[in-house]
Structures are given as structure tokens and as C-alpha cells.
């Protein structure tokens, strides 16, 4: 299985989850700005849409979109919250993070004027506050680490690096997630330093 990622992007969640699940894969760094894989291939030959993450299965099937990839990995490895609605609750948070946090955050990077950036940051603060209120234990959905925690961790890194104030519940979550071996491995691969050390 081949996994395509761009360092410090939202693909980090799938990268973490692949290591957490101990799913054998070959990781390929993509430069999304030049549109090339680290071996020089045009990335469009892998994913014509040009973004990451992407998984290519041994039979050639291409899987894209964070929510789909994270859901697939979680299902393979039992990283789904327990209970009748565990998977549904996780999908809710994955979709929320993808559409209500990641999309506005990326938009803020390309905002043309300062007032738009201020408005987006205020929206992100509200979104993070809501997410903090959803936390149901040591992790987002209870006592066990799941796919939603991996995705949230990347968004929390972005917020911390950008000086966005986070609820204490989410800072505690980020600190707990960052102590996981899978996260340390991916931070090393993607050449990132831990941010939430106590």
C-alpha cells in the first residue's frame, strides 16, 4: 500500500493513524506546490486532483479524502469508539474537523485582507470551543484513542502555531495524543518538533 502525504498538512492525521494501526505502507512525500512526488513523478499520475492524503491499494484502487481514509484505517484497526453509535459519532467529528475547522483555516492563509483573517480566526475560536465541549474523557470520544483524535491533533498544532487560544480540554488532549509512539514517529518523519510537552 502506498501513502502520499505533504508534511505539516492535514494528511498528518492519516500518517499517524497508519502507524498507530501498524498497517504496512510505503510513505511518499509530495510537494503539492510543484505537483511532484519525492522520486520526481508527477503527482497528478497518482491523484489527478493534486491534494493529499491519498492511499493506493495493491490492486490499484485510489482512496482520497481525509474522512474516508481515516474511517477506513480506523475500521481495519479497531480505532472506532465503542457502542452502537461509536462510528457515527466519530464520522461526525471527522466531518466537522474537515469542513468547519480545516477549510476555514486554509482559507485564512489566503485571505486578502486583515478583516477577513480576523473574522475567520473568531470563527475558529468558536469551533475549537465547541470541539472542547464535546470531549468525553481522556480523548475526544472516551477513554481510548481514535481517528478523530489524530485528525484533531493536526488542527490543534496549526492553532497553537498560529497563536489561536485553545480550551484547556483541547490542550490536554493534544498533550496526551503527542505522547503516543505513533505521533512521535510521524513528527520525526515529517521533521516537526513536539509542541505540547508538559
User: Reading across the β-sheet that carries 2-5, which strands appear in turn?
Assistant: 36-37, 26-31, 2-5, 54-56, 62-64
Indicate left, alpha or beta for 138 from its phi (over 0: left) and psi (-120 to 50: alpha).
alpha
**Tens-place pLDDT, residues 65-74:** 999 999 999 9
What fold is seen in the domain 86-180? Glutathione S-transferase Yfyf (Class Pi); Chain A, domain 2 (1.20.1050)
pLDDT over threshold 80, residue 137: yes
**pTM metric for this prediction:** 0.94
User: CATH for 2-77?
Assistant: 3.40.30.10
What digits encode the pLDDT tens for the residues 139-188? 999 999 999 999 999 999 999 998 999 999 999 999 999 999 999 999 99
Question: What span, in angstroms and rounded, lies between the C-alpha atoms of 141 and 145?
Answer: 8
Amino acid at each position: 500500500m502506498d501513502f502520499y502525504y505533504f508534511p505539516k498538512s492535514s494528511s498528518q492525521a492519516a500518517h499517524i493513524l497508519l502507524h498507530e494501526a501498524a498497517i504496512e505502507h510505503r510513505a511518499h512525500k509530495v510537494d503539492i506546490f510543484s505537483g511532484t512526488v519525492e522520486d520526481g513523478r508527477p503527482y497528478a499520475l497518482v491523484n489527478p486532483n493534486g491534494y493529499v492524503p491519498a492511499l493506493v491499494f495493491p490492486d490499484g484502487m485510489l482512496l482520497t479524502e481525509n474522512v474516508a481514509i481515516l474511517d477506513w484505517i480506523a475500521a481495519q484497526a479497531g480505532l472506532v469508539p465503542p457502542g452502537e453509535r461509536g462510528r457515527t459519532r466519530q464520522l461526525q467529528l471527522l466531518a466537522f474537523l474537515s469542513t468547519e475547522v480545516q477549510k476555514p483555516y486554509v482559507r485564512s492563509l489566503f485571505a486578502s485582507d486583515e478583516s477577513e483573517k480576523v473574522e475567520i480566526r473568531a470563527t475558529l475560536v468558536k469551533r475549537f470551543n465547541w470541539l472542547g465541549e464535546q470531549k468525553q474523557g481522556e480523548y475526544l470520544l472516551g477513554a481510548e484513542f481514535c481517528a478523530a483524535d489524530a485528525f484533531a491533533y493536526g488542527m490543534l498544532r496549526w492553532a497553537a502555531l498560529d497563536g489561536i487560544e485553545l480550551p484547556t480540554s483541547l490542550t490536554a488532549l493534544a498533550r496526551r495524543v503527542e505522547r503516543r509512539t505513533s505521533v512521535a514517529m510521524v513528527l520525526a518523519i515529517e521533521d516537526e518538533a513536539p509542541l505540547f510537552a508538559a
